Structure 1
């Protein structure tokens, strides 16, 4: 027994020696700086390659976090400086060490959202890829991180990381560490048990306890309704899921899913529109705990921290999640039937009135994510005519599939259960073909083939008019309202066209473009957006208006032939049948 005890002790010491140790402190939080120290022990290779990530879990574009790192130093176990070289903008190579590499640097961080980090005297809002350097060769090592919090600011730590002691938390490996955001602030916490697991809501906000109570009651209903879709919660690590909500005036609006937690940020407080405006993000991100975190596209595995991540399945992973966002708000009685049904019109019009379906199907739209997912560029793009968000496109396809299945006495909930049990629960990554095969298993080969050939591999529009009849809903389009086809804003020079005009719209066909400044229409100076809308609304579809506009300092004229407004309204049928009401109830009522 003694020999076994010594062996186990030696193994324990060896494992501890191979734990990468991080420490972060916030003495200069007022100027958005953190001081970070990292120790990499027991290095076997002669050179240690360190990196800052270029992307973040849940994001698909590049973000170049290394730009906010400076004062970078490296020493050995004796505190002696080591040689540092830079093979590329995001990397450091440290050589001539003695088996230990200690790193020290300063991080500037001032964007609080689901991707970046923000440090100030209200909080330390940390997304790990935007905060800490890492060693790819040591990715399987456990990690411990000590957060040297500001006691003078009453800061507390909230994260999905495992608490070891005091302010020290642990991750089993690099990937889990990178996927574990941290909110350090003077926050409040509420929690409840569901299916023998803890759902914890951390809220950093300037509001009242009563507001938090009301909001938390909505969160609980969302959790219950989403668990009902899959018949169970995922098995959370450490038996806990944590919402990290930061509704503060200094953050940027966002939501980002992680394995056992999510970040929720917005400038709206619960008292200032956030009670209603932020709850949709709660529903969306929590649904990701199933759909994308565990029920995961194969082309996102393994996630690449040094390159953009492209997936063909975001129409399902993000889009179907978006469909369920509104549906869950209805089932949780946060939205009324009328609010939910009429609210579908905005996304419906954005998707099906877009000229972009000519260029890309939903799979190809998904593959555009590295260019649009909070990506930055300085050159103008033509997204108005070439791109539909896979969130919105997939949401409308989720609606269509749900209604088409209901025509067969089936439903999307049960199909999602099938996908969950086949792939998500077992954490087996899926392909687009796997989705099609699973739909064939659930609804029949012919049904699956038709849906995918028409709406996934192609860009056809489902027959929503017929589908909506099932649940007593109408799709209405006005033929009397005129449509110009340009977005304008008021400037001192006149009404400026602020976006690329939609292809084949009246403004587009008349040669009007982004940046043109409208001076007159039919000889009248229209200086406000209201006067512009009012004038166009008084014209009949088919009417021709003469537009005088300025481009590059020169006055020009063109003729715009107005057409009927292509936008649809979606509304409840006035006198639905008993069968329609029954179908609607099965679709929208709480589960």
Structure 2
């Protein structure tokens, strides 16, 4: 069968329109074309077909009617063997890793948003991109030398099957393309936007090396990071042979200034943006194993037209979120102090999420399609992130295993065993995805079985299973096994806990979220209220502006009656409330007199010396 061919052009860069020509040979009397509704790795229905602006068809060179029969399907009358061409334009102006974006400087070609596919075709596919002057291009192909072709003004990539088509984004534009230094020369880095500082590349290579050495084997020959380094870019999305990262270039500016001034001594204040970049890259690279190959049973082969439900995203994303920072720590590219601070901040975010007592991790995973990716003002009260709580459950499982088996390597060994029993025996280096998706996937029960075996108990206790199948609070006392202690930073006397969060609208503070069981909720404050002023009942009204809000709160006292003046649906209300006392922020410290066994466990866990700053 002839390959399905796509040719992409950019006739009006300022209009953010991508022109696609689809060419294929008809196999039946009626040909249906369909487009995915979601992207693997981003679990929400996005209805990509809504971005199609114009569409027209021809058969054997003559115009032919094309009929829309569903929100994401079109029909053309054909005869077997006839050549069909479909020309359509797609609006692409969302700078994210899970949608297409195009302007005069680049085109990020996210396949699920761009490609209509003839029903029944599973491959082969070719994609050709007509480049604008000064542009280059790169893809996430598994074998670039075999699959990518370049000629003046043109870039092409060959893809063997449907999953490879949807898993292989293309970046075209004004790019900076390089390979990472040793020992990671097999990793390409393509940056659109602000170039990464030179000092970041060897640090990124050390993180990549740490991630690759974590697993029993490397399941790819080549890997590519596509980096969007632009204001407003954020997030990451994993693919089989690469990932897409969105980063804010201003975030590494303090470190760049320090290095540019000749100061090579790292400090946590200037390193925050670099830490963020390294952890993001670590997270997406870790997914090349955990999610893309070692995956929950429902996630592949995919049904691209509807939700693919699974209860295991807390393993897929939560475990990855645990190891993204831990492996940066083991690489030496973040200070121990900064890593422990970030871990404490995760504990604080979970503590401030009342939904942790409402929704279990399995429920959070299953409901991702309608909750995590579609938050509303009550979401923190009703749900919990499987990224956040899943990462902290991974920490507790790691500590539990290290206590039971001091000579073992904790959760590291469990994941390695899960890999060996699953996709580890398969050649998943591509470009075909058939081997990858022949592995049936795992369930929580598969993990529980290996946890029981690896712990030496045979079966895991109910309290361990409850970590993911019940909405339990987490006990971080086991940090003491590593010579660590969780405590609270003391707060100044008289500070209040608001019980709500605010966001700015043109300088005015508006209530975003009201925490359940807080004095603010009991007083009747509601999301969407505009805060106008506040006072103690015996004091003067103080106008509230976003920039001045902290100063106004300083005038209020815990337990002392106060009033808020709010605008709700253009009506001004007075709401009496007595705020609670502020809580201290969690912090994790090394115990000064920790016993040698705890220090040794810390060093085995962190890959760092106990004395490291």
TM score, norm. by length of structure 1: 0.88
Q: Distance in 1 between matches of 2:481 and 2:445?
A: 29
Q: Distance in 1 between matches of 2:344 and 2:37?
A: 37
Structure 1 segment 53-68 matched on structure 2, within 5 A: 53-68=36-51
Q: Please tell me the root mean square deviation across aligned C-alpha atoms, in Å.
A: 2.6
Deviation of the 1:116 alpha carbon: 0.8
Structure 2 partner of 1:134: 117
| Residues 164 and 170 in structure 1, CA contact (< 8 A), matched pair in contact too | yes
Deviation of the 1:539 alpha carbon: 6.6
1:76–1:528: structure 2 CA closer, same or farther, 3 Å change rule? closer
| Residues 331 and 590 in structure 1, CA contact (< 8 A), matched pair in contact too | yes
| Residues 199 and 240 in structure 1, CA contact (< 8 A), matched pair in contact too | yes
1:218 aligns with 2:203: yes
Q: Distance in 2 between matches of 1:323 and 1:491?
A: 34
**Which of 119, 126, 135 matches 2:102?**
119
| Residues 123 and 155 in structure 1, CA contact (< 8 A), matched pair in contact too | no
Structure 1 unaligned segments of length 5 or more: list them.
Answer: 1-14
Deviation of the 1:492 alpha carbon: 8.4
Q: What secondary structure sits across from 1:291 in the alignment?
A: coil
Deviation of the 1:359 alpha carbon: 2.1
| Residues 181 and 205 in structure 2, CA contact (< 8 A), matched pair in contact too | no
Q: Distance in 2 between matches of 1:111 and 1:365?
A: 27
Structure 2 partner of 1:558: 576
Q: What secondary structure sits across from 1:86 in the alignment?
A: strand
Structure 2 unaligned segments of length 5 or more: list them.
Answer: 255-272, 426-438
- Which whole-Å deviations, capped at 9, do the CAs of 1:452-501 have from their partners, x for residues lacking one? 43211112233212x1111122211348654231223567897x442221
1:339 aligns with 2:320: no
Q: Distance in 2 between matches of 1:529 and 1:102?
A: 55
Q: What secondary structure sits across from 1:429 in the alignment?
A: coil
Structure 1 segment 112-511 matched on structure 2, within 5 A: 112-139=95-122, 141-150=123-132, 152-160=133-141, 162-163=146-147, 165-166=149-150, 167-192=155-180, 198-207=186-195, 211=197, 213-234=198-219, 236=220, 239-249=221-231, 252-268=233-249, 271-272=252-253, 274-372=273-371, 374-375=373-374, 380-408=376-404, 409=406, 410=408, 411-426=410-425, 427-445=439-457, 448-465=460-477, 467-477=478-488, 478=490, 482-488=496-502, 496-511=509-524
**Matched pairs, number:** 558
Q: Distance in 2 between matches of 1:168 and 1:392?
A: 39
Structure 1 partner of 2:92: 109
- Which whole-Å deviations, capped at 9, do the CAs of 1:538-559 have from their partners, x for residues lacking one? 7765x23322322432332313
Tell which deviates more after alignment, 267-276 or 51-60.
267-276
Deviation of the 1:418 alpha carbon: 0.9
| Residues 483 and 598 in structure 2, CA contact (< 8 A), matched pair in contact too | yes
**Which of 6, 9, 16 matches 1:32?**
16
Structure 1 partner of 2:67: 85
Q: Distance in 2 between matches of 1:276 and 1:407?
A: 29
Deviation of the 1:158 alpha carbon: 3.4
| Residues 180 and 188 in structure 2, CA contact (< 8 A), matched pair in contact too | yes
1:524–1:580: structure 2 CA closer, same or farther, 3 Å change rule? farther
Deviation of the 1:205 alpha carbon: 3.0
| Residues 138 and 170 in structure 2, CA contact (< 8 A), matched pair in contact too | yes
1:324–1:169: structure 2 CA closer, same or farther, 3 Å change rule? same
| Residues 146 and 168 in structure 1, CA contact (< 8 A), matched pair in contact too | yes
Deviation of the 1:443 alpha carbon: 1.2
Structure 2 partner of 1:525: 541
Q: What secondary structure sits across from 1:425 in the alignment?
A: helix
Q: Distance in 1 between matches of 2:294 and 2:182?
A: 21
Q: Distance in 2 between matches of 1:265 and 1:181?
A: 14
- Which whole-Å deviations, capped at 9, do the CAs of 1:95-150 have from their partners, x for residues lacking one? 134532211111221123211111112111111011111123112x2111111112
